[in-house]
Amino acid sequence: MIDLKGKNALVTGSSRGIGQQIVLGLAKLGCNIIVHGRTNTSCLKTLKLLEKYNVNTYCVYGELSDEKNVSHLIKQVQDLNINVEILYNNAAIMTPFHENIWNHSWDEWTESFRVNVMALYSICSAFIPVMIENGFGRVINISSGIKDKPELAPYGASKWAVNKLTDDIASKLHNTGVRINYLDPGWLRTDMGGENAEHPVEAVLPGALAPALVANDGPNGQLFSAINHKLRTDILED
């Protein structure tokens, strides 16, 4: 398990929910945090929660549904003039549940892949090459354990695409100091997971931090489970 103190972490969709929990966990480990939300003001709650930690914090914002907005988000991060060393691609959308599984529209499919896959790819493209050049990087793409749910087909298919993309990128990172893995956060009580989910959102920690803590020659292109991972809980003690 490596020391993350002083590293810079970007977590998309960290204004609430799973992303917010992840940045709080990383801050406890001493990471400087780049919070991302859809708007500037949506970051404020997370930034407030981070005040108790002795780390640098930043806010970037933007929707991830079109290329122009994603490019603007990337430029905001680059304009901070700090190296992104840890990247959690957490932001995602889920289109409406359809009891009739043949009613998913092309717009729903397109929107799901724009946000959940294409934006993720662009963000990886912006920051992984610099990580390789600098000899260190940890990229964690949020996946899903969803299965047998054609009622949510666009979401489920987009997450399988995330897994495949992660595998493909991992094949190019051998013999570098960069590791990319994907994380199943579990079924959590969030806006997306719903109030009937099995676990509170806080249960994503500490397991969600495990793929950020792997060694330079550690797992690459592998699936981590936040709920089932046996990471020492004492690493997050105040």
Determine whether 144 is an active site residue: yes
User: Active-site residue among 159, 164, 172, 225?
Assistant: 159
Q: What is the mean pLDDT of residues 94-110?
A: 95
What pLDDT does 163 receive?
Answer: 96
Q: Are 184 and 224 in contact (CB under 8 A)?
A: yes
What pLDDT does 196 receive?
Answer: 67
What pLDDT does 227 receive?
Answer: 86
Q: What is the mean pLDDT of residues 79-87?
A: 98
User: Active-site residue among 155, 182, 225, 230?
Assistant: 155
Q: What is the mean pLDDT of residues 78-106?
A: 96
Q: Are 188 and 204 in contact (CB under 8 A)?
A: yes
pTM, two decimals, is: 0.94
Could you tell me the domains of the chain? 8-236 (3.40.50.720)
| Interstrand relation of 86-89 and 188-189 (parallel, antiparallel or unpaired) | unpaired
What pLDDT does 1 receive?
Answer: 83
The 10s digit of each residue's pLDDT in 142-154 is 998 778 889 999 9
Percent of the chain with pLDDT strictly greater than 90:
82
What pLDDT does 144 receive?
Answer: 87
Determine whether 159 is an active site residue: yes
What pLDDT does 195 receive?
Answer: 66
The 10s digit of each residue's pLDDT in 19-44 is 999 999 999 999 999 999 999 999 99
pLDDT band at 169 (very low <50, low <70, confident <90, very high): very high
What pLDDT does 14 receive?
Answer: 97
User: Active-site residue among 14, 112, 144, 158?
Assistant: 144
What pLDDT does 93 receive?
Answer: 94
Measure the CA–CA gap between 69 and 26, rounded to whole angstroms.
Answer: 26
What pLDDT does 8 receive?
Answer: 98
